[in-house]
Structure 1
Amino acid sequence: MHPESHLILHHARAAELHAATRARRQAADAGRAGELRARLGWTLVEVGLRLATAPQPALAHA
């Protein structure tokens, strides 16, 4: 094989690897953002439920 053909194949493979790495990083970043969004959402649900339920009056002991 000619050196130029090796170089062309190397550049093509490097571009594929860079694209795959970029896609994985974007997926990981989206996953972290989604995890944070879910955690925040459930925290807001918990706070809303606490606010929505009326506190029960304490029972007096006889």
Structure 2
Amino acid sequence: MAIIVNLDVMMATRKMSLNELSETVNISLANLSKLKTGKVKAIRFSTLEAVCEALDCQPGDILEYSNVV
């Protein structure tokens, strides 16, 4: 996939666990885990906004484009 999800990196930087983020953002642990591992095909802007607010970051800190296959 050309989009790389760096959610785990941001969570580590902010010292926030998956459980903490799940509770803060009000997203199920299962869905957040899928997002973290990049196994999703889409993300709602409202979800991305909530994650960015919780982690005090920009969308580009979480999502990265790579043209290397």
- Do the structures match in fold with TM over 0.5? no
The answer to which structure has the higher helix fraction is: 1
* Higher RCO (CA 8 Å, separation ≥ 6 residues): 2
TM-score, scaled relative to structure 2 = 0.19
